[in-house]
Structure 1
Amino acid sequence: MSSELSTMSRHAATVLAGQLAVMAFGVTDTIVAGRHAQESLAALSVGSAIFISVYVALMGVLQALLPVWAEQRGARNPEGIGRSLRQSLYLCALACALGMAILLSPGAVLRWTEVPPALQGEVRRYLAVLALALPPALLFRVYSTLNQALGRPQLVTWLQVASLAVKIPLSAWFTFGGAGLPAQGAVGCAWATLVVNYTMLGLALWLLRTQDLYAPLAIWRRMERPDWRQIGGFARLGLPAGLAILVEVTSFTLMALFIARQGTLSSASHQIAANLTAVLYMVPLSLGIAASARVSYWRGAGDEARARHVGWMGFQLAALMGCALAAILFIAKDHLASLYSSSADVVALTTGLLGWVAAYHVADAVQTLCVFVLRSYRITVAPLVTYCTLLWGAGLAGGYALAYQGWGPWSGQAATPVPFWAASALALAVTAVLFAAMLARALRPAR
């Protein structure tokens, strides 16, 4: 089985490179907007939080099609993949319409989050441009998921890495202006994203037309009428997965809003912790995608024993990598904190916080791998319920209670984000244990 380990590791490493490139898009916009004006950075912060919440939920719906296409590949049914892909475009169209409607009408969200009126105009303009950028982003996600199912993620990664070279100068140019173009602030970052998204989609379509890899799929046949039974099957798999990702993301974004009332020191240390957590998360995410693709492939090929073996292999690898990265983070927490800030107060508070972040990551690595492999066995509702109960309930609400009402070592008066991270780490640890139990049951040989 060493070949399976090698295949999974190569797949995960390739996906990881692409995911890090995509993360760099956000880093680029943050730096550019921050250098333009404080108001631009504030508008970007609010607008990107709304866009990301919408995008990742819809992206999760489409990403959940990975096991469907990987199984068809394992069953050696390439034309079935092509038919399924064409049907998935109807689901993608519905997702685009829903997402664009939310992004074009953000008034309720802006009022609920009490965004200052002075910022709302630029946030609305920013989201209006990103509404136009959403369809190519979701269509490219379909292309990305297809390639992951085919075991060829490198084509996607090359496009993602290359697009970063376009995104950086465009964001700077559109934001600051020049060569006859007026400065547009945060909205310029959105226009740069739109151009990059359509460019990536155009290149993906060109590859689908020209590469021999896709020829057996017969993708370019005439679109069939909607098969609502198949689309319904996609939705039953994808909707719980998308909602689960939404719960994960909002548990982070809402934590930031709750911590903000403690002041800039707590917010700064939390932002550093959240950034490191997001970077570390890319590793188990990539492993989860790779493991899900291989497990589904062998299930489609009718080799359930090999699928089970690959599932456990992925679990062990994710747990090992999670422990290793957490140990590195714990050992280097002083140095990492000082890299992010020159403020002694921020460094001191962040250093104490990163111990909890290390514990959080171990649980995060395990649960992420589990949830992806569980999707290969069509288990999606139970993880969603678990997320809602533990991440929103015990983690977010529990952290709020510890921070502002007090219990044990936390008096409820000290301004620190540690209670939120402690509660979230403990909630995620319980989530990881429950998911591991679900996975063990799913991988148990049939009698």
Structure 2
Amino acid sequence: MAHSADNNSTSSSGHSWQDIRHETTAIIRIAIPAILAQLAQMSLGVIDTLMAGNYSSNALAAVGTGFNAFMIIFSLFMGLMMAINPMVAHFNGQGKMDSIGKTFQMGMFLAVIFGIITFILLRNVDPILYLLGVEDAIVETTSGYLKALSWGCVFAFLFIALRSGNEGLFSTKIVMFCSFMVIPFNLLFNTWFIYGGLGVPAMGAVGVGYATSVVWTLLFLFLLFFTWRNPSFASLNIFKKIRWPTWALIKEFFSIGTPMSLGLLMEVSMFGMIGILVARYGVDLTGAHQIAMNIATVAFMVPWGLSIAITARVGYWMGRQDYRQMRLSGFCGIGTSLFFQAVSVAIMLLFRYQLVGVYTDDQAIIEISASLIFLAAIFQLSDGLQVNSAGALRGMKDTKIPTVYMAIAYWFIGFPVGIYLADYMDLKVKGFWIGILVGLTVAAILLLGRFIHRSKQTLAFAEASRS
């Protein structure tokens, strides 16, 4: 199949520089389209934030608060869908083409169920926002934004199901292409729905929600078409006949995906909860936080895209039962990520005022945002290390213990530190960002240590079994 990889010969003494260069090149070749796809998808959120901010401060705060609330719910199911990548990668390594097709279909079946549940939840978040002390004016607009957003949830999950399957087969260029295709549509529908025209009333932040729903639908339809037309996937029988998912496949999906879902939820909910709690400090601090978080998230797309490639490569070598190559793949990916994160740190430190200036000309918001980006630059290395160590562990289908580590790092250390500094030391937004830095650093140490231990243990067991 077009997605296979050459198996390098290795000696018991270790890998040559040629081996390292070959594996690093293979990861980068998969990762670059994945990174660009993530950046394109992230740009949709940046466009939403920019256009909402230009409309009004209330719209900016509502979109920021609403999206944080949405991500807490969305990440629970998105983490489950991420299990498709390592499952497909393992089947690819084993040469089980029919199982790959069944996994694609199972993913789309579950995507519809998850989308309907998310639709219902997004339309009933008002009491929680009031309970958390979010200002009444922001709650009203946020509620309208989330209800508009809810209409696209089924299509968003269908897109993620297809995306994860493609990524497991190293087919990241198709995802990249579709992601860039929808950017003009995002600009068009945002402008139309935010400011009104052609019979559509001006809807402000609510218009951003409707525009996002349309874009999610288009993303799915584009990726569906290109996946269907991809000649490399013909042997997978993804669309030729409908096959109900088997219990064994569903059981494996939830066994891998549930810890991944909880782990992602631990991280995203920490960021999301902080975003919601920041809304207690008023429009200016909320807007500044949203801008800085937007910039930090754009930077995060590079290690996130790399983690997709690492999961696929590690999963492929696990399927081939080449554990020495699997271990090399994980370390090459993590090392590559650290290099790119160092570049990201330099850019954010040197150009933080210019970056913030793209979003707003309000000097008070610029100063606050720039100070937050300084903290964001510091945690770039930790963020890259933790997400790519987690990606390597996902490729090994090792997801349960990493979830415990994430719970400890984010909710037992990072978030309490943030609360203490923000509310008790009166650092407010900066206190929360210091808490994020602490949580990510602890997660990076624990997850990297886990991959080093598990990969070494797996290799040693395999070599002992052969002797």
Query: Same fold judged by TM-score > 0.5?
Result: yes
Does the 8 Å CA contact 2:116/2:153 hold for their aligned counterparts? no
Q: Which amino acid aligns with 2:434?
A: A
Structural mapping, 1:316-335, within 5 Å:
316-333=335-352
Quote the Cα distance in structure 2 between the aligned partners of 1:190 and 1:9.
34
Q: Which residue in 1 is equivalent to 2:432?
A: 420
Structure 2 counterpart SS, 1:222: coil
> 455, 458, 466: which is aligned to 1:443?
455
Once the two structures are superposed, what CA deviation does each residue of 1:211-230 show, in whole Å capped at 9, x if it has no partner? 21220101124333342232
Residue of structure 2 equivalent to 1:240: 259
Q: 1:338 to 1:180 in 2, by over 3 A?
A: closer
The code of the aligned residue for 1:3 comes to H
Aligned to 1:153: 172
Q: How many Å separate the matches in 2 of 1:276 and 1:88?
A: 31
* Counterpart-to-counterpart distance in 2, 1:7 and 1:241: 25
Structure 1 gap ranges (5+): 406-411
Question: 1:394–1:424: 8 Å Cα contact kept in structure 2?
Answer: no
Match for residue 24 of structure 1? 43
Aligned counterparts of 1:388 and 1:274: Cα–Cα separation in 2: 21
* Partners of 2:48 and 2:357 in 1: CA distance: 23
Aligned equivalent of 1:314: 333
Kindly report which structure 2 residues correspond to 1:149-298, keeping only aligned pairs within 5 A, or say none: 149-262=168-281, 266-298=285-317
Deviations along 1:321-350, one digit per CA (max 9) or x if unpaired, are: 223322343344465456656566555555
Q: 2:115–2:156: 8 Å Cα contact kept in structure 1?
A: no
Q: Give the unaligned 5+ runs of structure 2.
A: 1-18
Alignment of 1:365-444 (within 5 A): 365-405=384-424, 412-413=425-426, 415-444=427-456
Which has the larger displacement, 230-239 or 34-43?
Answer: 34-43
Partners of 2:355 and 2:444 in 1: how far apart? 26
Task: State the Cα deviation string for residues 402-442 of structure 1 (Å, max 9, x = none).
Answer: 2333xxxxxx24x4533332232123212211111100012
Question: Separation in 2 of the partners of 1:239 and 1:216?
Answer: 29
Alpha-carbon spacing, 1:117–1:148, altered in 2? closer, same or farther (3 Å): same
CA 1:306–1:139: 2 relative to 1, 3 Å: same
RMSD (CA atoms): 2.4
Cross-structure match for 2:12: none
Give the partner amino acid of 2:335.
Q
**Which amino acid is the alignment partner of residue 449 of structure 2?**
A
Tell me which amino acid in the other structure corresponds to 2:193.
Answer: F
Aligned to 1:134: 153
Counterparts in 2 of 1:332 and 1:194: CA distance versus 1, 3 Å: closer
Aligned to 1:72: 91
Residues 272-281 or 28-37, more deviating: 28-37
1:166-207 residue CA offsets vs partner (Å, 9 max, x unmatched): 110111112212123222332322222222222222222222
Question: Could you tell me which amino acid in structure 2 is paired with residue 418 of structure 1?
Answer: K
* Deviations 1:131-172 (CA, angstroms, capped at 9, x unpaired): 220011110111111111111111111111010011101111
Contact 2:61–2:286 under 8 Å retained in 1 = no
**What TM-score, normalized to structure 1?**
0.90
* Compared CA separation, residues 349 and 221, structure 1 to 2 (3 A): closer
Which SS does the other structure have where 2:152 is aligned?
Answer: helix
Which TM-score applies when normalising by structure 2? Answer: 0.86
Cα separation, 2, equivalents of 1:251 and 1:382? 19
Partners of 2:294 and 2:237 in 1: how far apart?
Answer: 42
Residue aligned with 2:151, SS: helix
CA change 1:151–1:348 in 2 (3 A) is same
Instruction: Give the Cα–Cα distance (whole angstroms) in 1 for the partners of residues 205 and 412 of structure 2.
Output: 34
Greater than 6 Å deviation, 4+ residue runs: none
Q: Is the 8 A contact 2:53 2:359 kept in 1?
A: no
How far apart, CA to CA, are the structure 2 residues paired with 1:248 and 1:345?
Answer: 29
The 1:98–1:323 alpha-carbon spacing in structure 2 relative to 1, beyond 3 Å, is same
Quote the Cα distance in structure 1 between the aligned partners of 2:386 and 2:28.
18
Relative to 1, partners in 2 of residues 1:440 and 1:119: Cα closer, same or farther, differing over 3 Å? closer
How many residue pairs match? The answer is: 440
Distance change >3 Å, CA 336–CA 233, structure 1 → 2: same
